[in-house]
């Protein structure tokens, strides 16, 4: 079954679970088996009990299994979040278990650091090459003046370079370099020497290939193992994997590695709340052990180490970025369909669509924060 399927949906069962789901949806603008693009069409009689018992994990898995369909999951997710169903959609057991785990265990310890790389980023370069633009940026683009995904990603890379005030010959550290997008751009267009680290073998291999011939070194390494001295440090789309227990260590590491008059740019998704939570479906299928920082988390754990020079929020741009990735997946999936099953395709469609809805509803943010070690003089961040 595909996302544009027009197979007749199931006749809704007259059950208590169905009535409860309808009550939860009432007033959201989302209806069951409706005619709007954001309406939810049901194809399995156990859908309602599955969602009530398993929350967002059950909702996502049910979509992967073809139990329900929706033409615009992004719009559905946005409406449900604006209706206040975000936290209520997580079962009490899910919330309690994650908080207990996060409180008693360091889910992002050095011993566990490579789990997300193996589970998500190592899934296959062929998939990400088709989903992303030619820069291979797997983070929010900057759409202020951009009209295409490629323009938005190049604008984001250049914005980061300008905020860092790069000059030829500088030594730059890229924490969480991904497929080498920033390292390649900064070395090629600003003449700097870049050391990039990643926890994904697939990313490291492709990043080395893409940066061949440039003054770029790509390492498969955890940030806590770093040594050296750098005039500039950048971290784009990696802080989400650090974990709240490790924030002090992260900022201490940056302080130790950053030159006295250096600059550090942190680019991260942010949460509106300091409460430690994670969506169970995202945690299981996309980013294991991920935690989104709040503004308070970043401020409190950095203040003893670094001086905050600038803070910019362009979270609304992640909506457009995710929808562009979704369009690429839909348009080019046939090129890699033999390498992945239908459940994986639906997993990516659900992930990209639901996250776009989250940013559209302003439940998620995207921050670029610039820090120094207290250097003298005025700092004016470009926009």
DSSP state of 360: H
Least Cα distance to 32 among 70, 3, 2, 66 occurs for: 70
Return d(Cα 162, Cα 139) in angstroms, integer: 18
* Cβ within 8 Å of residue 86, ≥6 positions away: 80, 363
User: What 3-state class would DSSP assign to 283?
Assistant: helix
6 token code pair: 């027009």
**Residue 174: beta bridge partners?**
196, 234
Q: Which residues of 267-291 are buried (b: 16+ CB within 10 A; e: fewer)?
A: bbbbbeeeebbbbbbbbebbbbbbb
- The pair of structure tokens assigned to 49 is 């009990």
Tokens, residue 310 = 């600038």
Instruction: Give me the active site residues, please.
Output: 355
Q: How far apart are CA 352 and CA 368, in angstroms?
A: 21
For residue 344, the number of C-alpha atoms closer than 13 Å in the C-beta half-sphere is: 14
Could you give the residue ranges of the DSSP H alpha helices within the chain?
16-25, 47-64, 73-82, 85-88, 92-104, 115-116, 125-131, 149-163, 181-190, 201-210, 247-257, 280-285, 295-302, 316-332, 342-360
């Amino acid at each position: 079954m595909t996302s544009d399927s027009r197979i007749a949906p199931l006749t809704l069962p007259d059950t208590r679970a169905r009535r409860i789901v309808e009550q939860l949806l009432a007033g959201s603008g989302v209806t069951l088996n409706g005619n709007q693009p954001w309406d939810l069409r049901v194809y399995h009689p156990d859908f309602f009990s599955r969602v009530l018992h398993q929350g967002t994990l059950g909702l996502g898995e049910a979509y992967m299994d073809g139990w329900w369909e929706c033409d615009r999951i992004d719009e559905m997710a946005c409406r449900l979040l604006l209706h206040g169903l975000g936290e209520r959609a997580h079962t009490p057991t899910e919330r309690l278990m994650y908080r207990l785990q996060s409180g008693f265990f360091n889910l992002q310890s050095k011993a566990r650091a490579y789990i997300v790389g193996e589970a998500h980023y190592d899934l296959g370069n062929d998939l990400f090459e088709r989903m992303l633009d030619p820069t291979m940026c797997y983070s929010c683009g900057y759409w202020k003046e951009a009209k295409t995904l490629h323009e938005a990603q190049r604008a984001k890379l250049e914005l980061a370079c300008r905020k860092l005030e790069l000059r030829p010959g500088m030594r730059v550290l890229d924490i969480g370099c991904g497929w080498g997008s920033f390292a390649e751009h900064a070395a090629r267009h600003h003449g700097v020497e870049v050391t990039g680290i990643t926890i994904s073998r697939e990313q490291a291999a492709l990043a080395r290939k893409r940066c061949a011939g440039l003054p770029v070194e790509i390492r498969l390494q955890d940030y806590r193992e770093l040594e050296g001295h750098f005039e500039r440090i950048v971290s784009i789309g990696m802080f989400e994997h650090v974990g709240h227990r490790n924030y002090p260590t992260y900022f201490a590491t940056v302080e130790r590695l950053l030159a006295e008059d250096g600059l550090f740019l942190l680019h991260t998704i942010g949460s509106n709340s300091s409460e430690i939570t994670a969506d169970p479906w995202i945690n299981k299928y996309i980013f294991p052990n991920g935690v989104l920082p709040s503004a308070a988390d970043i401020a409190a754990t950095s203040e003893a180490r670094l001086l905050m020079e600038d803070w910019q929020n362009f979270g609304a741009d992640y909506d457009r970025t995710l929808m562009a990735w979704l369009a690429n997946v839909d348009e080019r999936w046939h090129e890699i369909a033999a390498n992945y099953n239908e459940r994986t395709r639906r997993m990516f469609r659900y992930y990209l669509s639901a996250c776009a809805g989250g940013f559209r509803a302003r439940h998620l943010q995207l921050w670029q924060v610039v820090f120094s070690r207290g250097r003298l003089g005025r700092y004016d961040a470009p926009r």
